[in-house]
Amino acid sequence: MPINEVATEHAPVMPADPATKRNFVRGMFSAIAPRYDLLNHLLSFNVDRLWRRRAIAALNWQVAPSATYLDLCAGTLDVAALLAKQPSFSGRVLGADFAEPMLRAGREKVSESVSPVVADALDLPLAANSAGGAIVAFGIRNVNDLDAALREVYRVLNRGARFVILEFTTPRNPVMRAFYHVYFHHVLPFIGGVVSGHRNAYRYLPESVAQFPAEEELAARMTTAGFVDVRWISLSFGIAAIHIGRK
């Protein structure tokens, strides 16, 4: 079985049609917004906080601390808020997400240096060569067209700026992978469904991870989009990974 292939007892919840998928994903995240942060921390045993901090460190924002940075698929603005609070950071963070209820759920976290904006990852409200860096945490797998999203991020970045992707992956160790599948496909959907009241959302999560490119393929697609010095760092026994590329 390929490392990103997952057997499932249920019919897929993710629509195959791109337009339908876009509406489904936006509606789903809008519905779970009130419980999104609670479930993120609960279901990851708070490890997601560490992962986000490591992703922000990989952004290397200290090179241009007063620049504008993009938090793509920003959700409830965890990453935007954390970046804006970094010592010596004096720039602005644009938190872009197409699900407005997610942005509203995170509005109390942010300072004046964070600007939430309702925007699609395929059509960002930034001029070319205007961002000092970009980061996306657990959102890039939800876009309709991954390659178009990578090209759009490349367009808005300054020359030399970094793009950091934090995303779930499938562990390669057989024992860890077996544990991961049990948790991701049985425990997580049950708890997530009960707490959020939206069972399909937490069936969608493992399904979307299973369909997302493995680390090597994502790195190759970043390279095809124009990024250089592309590399990745595995986290927590391969449960997640940070990909880093430079324009």
pLDDT at 216: 98
Tens of pLDDT, residues 23-39:
888 988 888 888 788 77
Among residues of the chain, what percentage have pLDDT more than 70? 94
Q: What is the mean pLDDT of the chain?
A: 90
| pTM (predicted TM-score) | 0.90
Is residue 7 scored above 60 in pLDDT? no
- What is the three-class DSSP state of 122? coil
Tens of pLDDT, residues 74-115:
999 999 999 999 999 999 999 999 999 999 999 999 989 999
Report the run of H or E that residue 56 belongs to, with start and end.
Answer: helix 47-58
Is residue 57 scored above 80 in pLDDT? yes
How sure is the predictor about 2, in pLDDT bands with cuts at 50, 70 and 90?
very low
Tens of pLDDT, residues 200-231:
778 888 888 889 999 999 999 999 999 999 99
How sure is the predictor about 12, in pLDDT bands with cuts at 50, 70 and 90?
low
Is residue 5 scored above 60 in pLDDT? no
pLDDT at 33: 83
pLDDT at 14: 66
CB-count burial class (<10 Å; 0-12, 13-18, 19+) for 234: middle
Q: Rounded distance, CA 117 to CA 83, Å? A: 16
Q: Rounded distance, CA 28 to CA 15, Å? A: 12
Q: Rounded distance, CA 135 to CA 244, Å? A: 9
DSSP assignment of 73-117? T-TTSHHHHHHHTSTT--SEEEEEES-HHHHHHTGGG--TTEEEE
Is residue 177 scored above 60 in pLDDT? yes
User: What domains sit in the chain, N to C, each tagged with a CATH number?
Assistant: 18-31+46-169+214-246 (3.40.50.150)
